Amino acid sequence: MTTIGFIGLGIMGTPMAGHLIQHGHRLFACTRGAVPAELVDAGATVCATSAEVARQADVIFIMVPDTPQVEEVLFAEDGVAAGLSAGKVVVDMSSISPVATKDFARRIRELGCDYLDAPVSGGEVGAKAGTLTIMVGGSEAAFDRVRPLFQLMGKNITLVGGNGDGQVTKVANQIIVALTIEAVGEALLLAAKAGADPARVREALMGGFASSRILEVHGERMIKRSFAPGFRIDLHRKDLNLALTTARQLGVALPNTATAQELFNTCAAHEGGGWDHSAMVRALEIMANFTIGQEA
C-alpha cells in the first residue's frame, strides 16, 4: 500500500482518486471546495492545505485546471513544497505550460524530491473507466516507482522523456484533436450542404482512410446535435493557448492551430464555452449559414 495525496478533485480528479482508494491505497485529499462525499465515504482523509497533504503522503498527485493553479498548489505559503521531505514524488497530471513545468520540476528536485509531469487524454469517460492515456515526463526511476499507480488510472502509459516532455506531448495531442474535429466538421458540413445525408456520408467514410475515432464519436455528435460536454470548449481553448504560447516561445508557426482556436473563440462568443469541443462545427455552420441535418 502506498500513501497517496491527491489535490484537485473535479470531474477528472474525483474518479482518478477513487480508483486509487478502491485498490487499497490510503489517500489524503485536498481541493478548492469540499472533498466529494464519495471519496470520504470510501476512506479518504480530508486535509486543510496542500502542505498537509504533502506531509502525509509519499506520492502527491495534482489535477487542477491550468498553470497558475499548479504554481499556487506547489509554491503558495501552505503549498506542497512547504510540506515535502526528501524522497517523495510530486506528479502533476494537469495540462499546463511545458516551459513552466520545467521550472516547477527544477524547484521540486532542489528539495530532494522527484517530479513527474503526467497529463492525460480520455476525458471524464476515461477517468471514470480507468482507461486514460497518460503521457509522462521525468526520470525513469520516478516513473517506475509511480507506474503501478498510473496503471490504476490509465491503460496507455508512456514515459516520453524528461520533465516537460509529457506536457509537450499533451499539447501535440490537443492540436491533432482540434484539427481533426475541424476537418470532420468541414467535411460533414459540405456533404450536408450538397444534399447528401451526413449520417450515411459518415458511415461510408468510417470504412476508408479518413476513418478516425473523432469521425466516429464526434461526427455522430455533430449529426445528432449532441453537444453536452465530455470535454468543454473552454478547456480545449486553454490547451490550444498553451500550444500557441509555446510555439511563440520556440519560434514555431502553427497556422492551422491558430485557425482552430479562432473557431473555438467563435463558439465561446456565442455562449458555447461550455459545449463539447465537437461543437466547433457550430462556428463553421455560422459562417455557412447552414446546419448539418438541415435540408439543402
What angle do the packed helices 140-153 and 13-22 form, to 10 degrees? Answer: 90
CA distances (Å), origin 181, targets 6, 21, 189, 207: 32, 35, 12, 18
Supply the pLDDT for residue 123. 85
| Count of residues in the chain | 296
Supply the pLDDT for residue 294. 59
Cell of 143: 516513473
For 126, phi then psi, to 5°, come to -65, -35
Cell of 70: 499548479
Q: Are 293 and 192 in contact (CB under 8 A)?
A: yes
Cell of 288: 455557412
The DSSP code for 225 is: T
Q: Give the alpha-carbon dihedral of 10, 165, 49, 145, to 10 degrees.
A: 100
Q: Are 52 and 79 in contact (CB under 8 A)?
A: no
For 26, phi then psi, to 5°, come to -80, 130
For 76, phi then psi, to 5°, come to -65, 165
Q: Quote the CA–CA distance of 170 and 53 in Å, as a whole number.
A: 26
Q: Quote the CA–CA distance of 79 and 42 in Å, as a whole number.
A: 25
Cell of 94: 494537469
Q: Are 62 and 91 in contact (CB under 8 A)?
A: yes
Supply the pLDDT for residue 2. 86
The DSSP code for 1 is: -
Q: Quote the CA–CA distance of 57 and 147 in Å, as a whole number.
A: 16
Active-site residue set? 170
Q: Quote the CA–CA distance of 157 and 133 in Å, as a whole number.
A: 6
User: Burial of 118 by CB count in 10 Å (0-12 exposed, 13-18 middle, 19+ buried)?
Assistant: buried
Q: Are 190 and 159 in contact (CB under 8 A)?
A: no
Supply the pLDDT for residue 125. 87
- pLDDT means per 10 residues, the chain with 296 residues, are 93 96 96 95 97 98 96 98 98 96 98 98 92 98 98 97 97 97 98 96 96 96 93 94 94 98 98 97 97 69
Supply the pLDDT for residue 296. 43
DSSP string of 125-147? HHHHHT-EEEEEES-HHHHHHHH
Query: What count of Cα atoms within 13 Å lies in the side-chain half-sphere of residue 157?
Result: 19
